[in-house]
């Protein structure tokens, strides 16, 4: 599975890498910025460090060059851009669609992967400082927020995709030792994780993304989007239904 971004070209806005274009959802393209149309500030910060600018309208993140390796760590596999745009050598031109062309990033990292090494960070601000410093290689290391040491696994491991929907992702990991699973999906309030059916803590990784600890051997990791607002709404609806049924019963009672 790969992340896909698109671009528009207009005299007003120039070259835009669009994150959050709901129209693309009609064609099965997933939003790399966050859940549906929501793009958290942490993701915007990551994109800006990678060279993006917020468009004048404030609705898209604009990329006019793709030199930053932060885009590789983001698992940005394909981009649809103006055909005349000059791209770094790691991007291969795959197909032309008139004035635009599809480019493939040949060195993009997998969207889900077992971490070989990590750099602990205290909080979002600390992670941002590390990213801006350019002193960490995100191909081999992730910046993970945790109050305890996380497992490093120089031997790596395998990740198999089992299911992927907008609000549910199921992965299977196989590792020779306890490891950290990194998922290049935006960490947004409401996401929960389980490992072999047991609740697992989600560690913010690389400023804006998600990671969880997995044991040695083969295990099942599930991410589900269950925002508190939805749960509260369900509880309120259930209470209202019960009260309505109770009132109806009282009215009918002789």
Higher pLDDT, 34 or 77: 77
**CA-to-CA dists, residue 41 to 5, 14, 38, angstroms:** 18, 23, 10
Average pLDDT, integer, range 90-94: 95
Q: Tell me, what's the pLDDT at 172?
A: 98
Percentage of residues in the chain having pLDDT higher than 70: 73
Higher pLDDT, 237 or 204: 204
Residues 215-251 pLDDT 10s: 999 999 999 998 865 444 444 455 555 555 555 555 5
Range with the poorest average pLDDT among 80-94, 101-115, 196-210, 216-230: 216-230
Q: Tell me, what's the pLDDT at 40?
A: 85
**CA-to-CA dists, residue 215 to 125, 195, 212, 226, angstroms:** 29, 9, 10, 24
Residues 22-59 pLDDT 10s: 555 555 666 656 555 567 889 989 999 999 888 777 77
Average pLDDT, integer, range 74-79: 90
Average pLDDT, rounded, for the chain: 81
DSSP output for 200-250: EPPEEETTTEEEEEE-SEEEEEEEEE--HHHHHHHHHHHHHHHHHHHHHHH
Q: Are 173 and 222 in contact (CB under 8 A)?
A: no
Asked if pLDDT for residue 207 goes beyond 60, the answer is: yes
What are the structural domains, with CATH classification, of the chain? 3-105 (no CATH), 112-228 (2.60.420)
Residues 151-200 pLDDT 10s: 778 888 999 999 998 899 999 999 999 999 999 999 988 999 999 999 99
């Amino acid at each position: 599975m790969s992340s896909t971004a698109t671009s528009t070209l207009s005299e007003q806005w120039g070259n835009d890498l669009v994150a959050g274009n709901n129209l693309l959802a009609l064609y099965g393209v997933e939003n790399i910025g966050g859940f549906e149309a929501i793009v958290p500030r942490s993701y915007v910060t990551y994109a800006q460090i990678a060279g993006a600018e917020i468009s004048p309208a404030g609705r898209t993140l604009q990329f006019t060059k793709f030199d930053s390796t932060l885009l590789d760590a983001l698992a940005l596999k394909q981009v649809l851009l103006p055909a005349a745009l000059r791209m770094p050598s790691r991007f291969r031109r795959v197909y032309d669609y008139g004035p635009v062309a599809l480019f493939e990033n040949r060195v993009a990292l997998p969207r889900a992967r077992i971490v070989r090494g990590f750099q602990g960070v205290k909080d979002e601000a600390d992670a941002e400082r590390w990213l801006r410093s350019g002193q960490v290689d995100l191909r081999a290391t992730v910046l993970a927020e945790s109050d305890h040491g996380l497992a490093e696994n120089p031997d790596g491991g395998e990740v198999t995709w089992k299911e992927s929907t907008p609000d549910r992702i199921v992965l299977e990991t196989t590792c020779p030792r306890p490891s950290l699973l990194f998922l290049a999906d935006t960490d947004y309030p409401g996401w929960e994780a389980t490992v072999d059916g047991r609740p697992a803590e989600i560690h913010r990784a690389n400023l804006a993304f998600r990671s969880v600890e997995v044991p040695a051997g083969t295990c099942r990791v599930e991410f589900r989007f269950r925002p508190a607002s939805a749960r509260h709404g369900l509880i309120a609806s259930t209470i209202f239904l019960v009260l309505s049924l109770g009132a109806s019963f009282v009215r009918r009672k002789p």
